[in-house]
């Protein structure tokens, strides 16, 4: 929702910028008003981006990891049944040659 609002506001900003660049006959007062509107749009888009960043941060904080369930998955069962002895792992590792 916030990203949609931000896109709409940025489209309005681009229209104002193009109007400012195209119209050479604008009075100084009108140009000043356009610059002010463009600056206000910049402030609003920054506020919206901050709120979007907070939404994303809160979604990540609420993310919870769950452990895998045994649903008959053969890979899950393979690792569950496998009893690996730490000593066997150490024995099967290549030995360093300390004579060098």
What are the pLDDT digits (tens) for 28-63?
899 999 999 999 999 999 999 998 888 888 877 777
| Measured distance CA(31)–CA(34) in Å, rounded | 5
Has this prediction a pTM greater than 0.85? no
Q: Are 46 and 2 in contact (CB under 8 A)?
A: no
Q: Report the distance separating Cα 2 and Cα 9, nearest Å.
A: 11
Tell me how far apart the alpha carbons of residues 90 and 1 are, in angstroms, rounded to a whole number: 55
Q: How far is CA 96 from CA 34, 52, 87, in A?
A: 74, 54, 17
């Amino acid at each position: 929702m916030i990203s949609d609002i931000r896109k709409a506001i940025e489209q309005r900003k681009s229209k104002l910028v193009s109007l400012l660049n195209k119209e050479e006959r604008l009075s100084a007062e009108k140009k000043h008003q356009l610059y002010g509107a463009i600056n206000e749009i910049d402030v609003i888009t920054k506020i919206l981006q901050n709120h979007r960043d907070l939404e994303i941060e809160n979604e990540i904080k609420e993310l919870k990891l769950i452990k895998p369930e045994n649903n008959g998955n053969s890979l899950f069962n393979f690792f569950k049944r496998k009893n690996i002895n730490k000593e066997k792992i150490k024995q099967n590792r290549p030995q360093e040659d300390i004579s060098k």
